[in-house]
Amino acid sequence: MNPFLVYNTPNGISYYQKYRRRGKNKPYVYIDTVPNENGMYDGYIFNAPLIRTISIEAIFKDPRQLDNYGCCSDNVDDNFNFLSAVLKERVTKQKILYYR
């Protein structure tokens, strides 16, 4: 229910977490930006004892990657071509209106 601080660089952990005035012992997440052997990114949670459930908000390169996990079986939207066409149309219209 509480969002964690997220760090992407080891320097950020050592500097920003060390010199925080408040919340030094609160949980935080380090996301390794180098893909592992499966092509996924690893995330490490620190200062968080006994976590039962984790939920994330993420943008996937390919939403079909969610089929590898048992959490999102109710999402059956297989029409990705329609969605990408609508997104491209909206972005191009916004750029045309902005640069006029």
| Whether pLDDT at 5 is above 60 | yes
The residue that leads in pLDDT, 37 or 21, is 37
Determine contact, residues 2/16, Cβ cutoff 8 Å: no
Question: Phi-psi bin for 50: left (phi > 0), alpha (psi -120 to 50), beta?
Answer: left
Which residues are CB-neighbours of 25 under 8 A, at least 6 positions away? 47
CA distance 64 to 30: 25
Helix (H) or strand (E) holding 80: helix 80-99
pLDDT in tens, 42-93: 888 888 888 887 777 777 777 777 777 766 655 555 556 677 778 888 888 8
Q: What is the pLDDT, as a whole number, of residue 79?
A: 56
Q: Is 8 helix (H, G, I), strand (E, B) or coil?
A: coil
In the chain, where are the structural domains located?
5-99
